Amino acid sequence: MNYTALVTAIHTYTESEEAAFVANDDLIIEMAEKKIFRSADLNVARKYATSTLNVDDPYVSLPEDIVVIRSVQIIDTLTNPGTTYRDYLLQKDPSFMDDFTGDRTDSGRPRYYAHYNDSTLMVAPAPDQQYSIEVAYTYRPEQISATNPNTWLGDNAPDVLLYACLLESARFLKEEPDILQMYEAQYREAFQGMLMEENLRNRTDSYREREIKLNPGG
């Protein structure tokens, strides 16, 4: 389902072409997409960013599009040239970091990380050499729009996207409670189906997990 088809479906289902409603099409879609991505850990919303740590500098700038940090790794290719070591850092509170080091410039191989502020991480101890650091995180994929008409949600979960939009539309139009409940139920059903696909097809395989067999005869 592309952008044009989505907008047409929203107006058809709601039977509304009210000017104020039409003017807020993109806002309704934005609210719907955020609802979906905040509720599901989808592979399409996962990214990785790698940068180099500066010696004796405990601070690391985060990617501008980061929403949630999933993990942080130190990549060491310097201690033993030709060999790569990857170590996950443990997340801690900034107060722990200060207690651990005493001085934020005390250096060594980083073991911990903490949120210093909205755009910066702090590692401890501060790096004693120029390690690479890899941040695994989630972000918000670009919203479906007139200039970005095809997205993962529209192509792979059009029912989830549509029902989320219809639910937001019903709230905007101040529909009766039974209409809201209907769209909420349709959204939840479609959302659970999307999660099942994501979990079974992308997070497991036949080698690690048994295949689910369906018995049409009951």
Query: Which range (52-56, 80-84, 92-96, 149-153) has the least confidence?
Result: 80-84
Q: What pLDDT is attached to residue 212?
A: 42
Mean pLDDT of 184-206: 83
Residue 77 has pLDDT above 90, yes or no: no
Q: Helix, strand or coil for residue 52?
A: strand
pLDDT tier at 208 (50, 70, 90 boundaries)? low
Classify residue 185: in a domain, yes or no: yes
Q: What pLDDT is attached to residue 211?
A: 47
Q: Which residue has the tokens 């939840």?
A: 188
* Nearest residue to 101 (alpha-carbon basis) of 123, 122, 124, 131: 124
Report the share of the chain in percent with pLDDT over 70: 92
Residue 159 has pLDDT above 90, yes or no: yes
Is-cis flag, bond preceding 149, omega within 30? no
The DSSP annotation for 73-135 comes to EEEE-SSSTT--EEEEPEE--HHHHHHHHSSTT-EES--EEEEEETTEEEEESEESS--EEEE
pTM: 0.82
Classify residue 208: in a domain, yes or no: no
Residue 169 CB coordination number (10 Å): 24
34 and 79 part of one domain: no
Q: Which of 81, 101, 130 is the last residue of a domain?
A: 130
Classify residue 58: in a domain, yes or no: yes
pLDDT tier at 85 (50, 70, 90 boundaries)? confident
Classify residue 12: in a domain, yes or no: yes
Contact 164, 133 (CB under 8 A): no
61 and 113 part of one domain: yes
* Boundaries of domain holding 104: 54-130
20 and 62 part of one domain: no
71 and 28 part of one domain: no
Which structure tokens are listed for 8?
A: 């047409």
H or E element that contains 32: helix 25-39
Classify residue 209: in a domain, yes or no: no
Classify residue 102: in a domain, yes or no: yes
pLDDT tier at 80 (50, 70, 90 boundaries)? confident
Number of domains in the chain: 2
Mean pLDDT of 17-39: 96
Contact 161, 33 (CB under 8 A): yes
pLDDT tier at 98 (50, 70, 90 boundaries)? confident
Task: Convert the pLDDT of each residue in 42-72 to its tens digit.
Answer: 999 999 999 999 999 999 999 999 999 999 9
